[in-house]
Amino acid sequence: MIEVYAIRVDDFIDDNTNNQLLSHISREKREQIKRFHFIEDAKRTLYGDLMARYLVCDKLKLSNSQLIFYKNEFGKPFLKDYSDFYFNISHSGVWVVCVIGEKEVGIDVEQIKPVDISIAKRFFSKNEYQNLMQRPEQFRVEYFYDLWTMKESYIKYRGEGLSIPLNSFDVCTGGDSLDNLSYLYFSQPLLDIDYKLSICSENALMSEKINIIEINLIKNTLIHGN
C-alpha cells in the first residue's frame, strides 16, 4: 500500500525546539541546511528529513539512531538494508510531503502559481502539449501543474534526476515515447486547493487519503523515542 503524509511548515517553533530537531538529523543534512539563505528553504528541508525519519521509525519499529541513509549516484536517498521500504519527499510553499511504499515511489508537490504556458512546448511531449492547449484557457494553468507534477513524480520514481529529459516521455498516454509507462500507476490525491500533488509507483494500491501530521508528534517521537 502506498501511503502519503504531509506537514505544514508555517507553524512557529522556538529556537530551542529547532536546535533539538536539528540534532536528530545527520551532520551532512545539518550542513546543507546551514547553507540556505532563506529560512523557509531550511525549514522545508529539515521537516522533510524529520518526517522521513519519523515514518521509518514508526513503520519499521526502529529508533532514529539505528537509521542509515544512503544516496544513489543521482542523489535519491534510500534506507540501508531494507529492500521493501521506499520513500520520497517533496516540498513547495507551506507543505512538505512524503510517500512510502514497498516498491520504488516518486512524489511531487507544486504550489499553483501563474506560469508562462509557452514553456510547456519545451518541456512537455507533443501529445501533452496538444492536450494542454486544447483545454479552455481558464483551465490551462491548473492542468499544466497536473502534467508537471506527474512528470516530476516519474523522474523522482526513477531516481535519475535531470538525466531524463522531461519531453522524452508522455504521462498522458504512457506510450509513444522513449519511456513506456504502461507498467506504472499515477495518483493525484487532493492536498490543498492551491497545490497539485502527484505520485508515481509500480504499486496499484494507493491510498487517496493524505495523513496530516504535526511537528510536535515528530519531535516527541524522535527526541523522546530514542
Diameter of the chain measured on Cα atoms: 54
CATH 3.40.50.280 assigned to 2-224: no
- Confidence grade of residue 173 (pLDDT, cut at 50, 70, 90): low
C-alpha cell at 60: 519499521
Instruction: Supply the pLDDT for residue 179.
Output: 58
C-alpha distances out from residue 201 to 81, 115, 141, 153, 156, Å: 21, 27, 25, 9, 10
CB-based contact 106:164 (threshold 8 Å):
no
Alpha helices in the chain (DSSP H): 15-22, 27-34, 39-60, 120-123, 126-133, 137-158, 215-224
Per-residue pLDDT for 178 more than 60?
Answer: no
Write out pLDDT tens, residues 72-124.
888 899 998 898 999 999 999 999 999 999 999 999 999 999 999 999 999 99
Amino acid identity of residue 53, one-letter, is R
Instruction: Supply the pLDDT for residue 175.
Output: 46
Domain boundaries, the chain: 2-224
Beta carbons within 10 angstroms of residue 168's beta carbon: 11
3-state secondary structure of 5: strand
3-state secondary structure of 13: coil
d(CA 97, CA 5): 6
Could you tell me which residues come within 8 angstroms of residue 158 by beta carbon, excluding any fewer than 6 positions away? Answer: 106, 164
| Residues above pLDDT 70, as percent of the chain | 95
- Confidence grade of residue 17 (pLDDT, cut at 50, 70, 90): confident
**Chain-wide mean pLDDT for the chain?**
90
d(CA 147, CA 172): 8
Per-residue pLDDT for 176 more than 60?
Answer: no
Write out pLDDT tens, residues 35-84.
999 989 999 999 999 999 999 999 999 999 899 998 988 889 999 889 89
The gap from C-alpha 130 to its chain's centroid, in whole angstroms, comes to 27
Instruction: Supply the pLDDT for residue 225.
Output: 62
- Confidence grade of residue 141 (pLDDT, cut at 50, 70, 90): very high
| Residues above pLDDT 90, as percent of the chain | 68
Burial class, 61, CB count within 10 angstroms (exposed 0-12 / middle 13-18 / buried 19+): exposed
Per-residue pLDDT for 177 more than 90?
Answer: no
Please compute the mean of the pLDDT values over residues 170-197 and round it to a whole number.
80
Amino acid identity of residue 196, one-letter, is K
Instruction: Supply the pLDDT for residue 12.
Output: 79
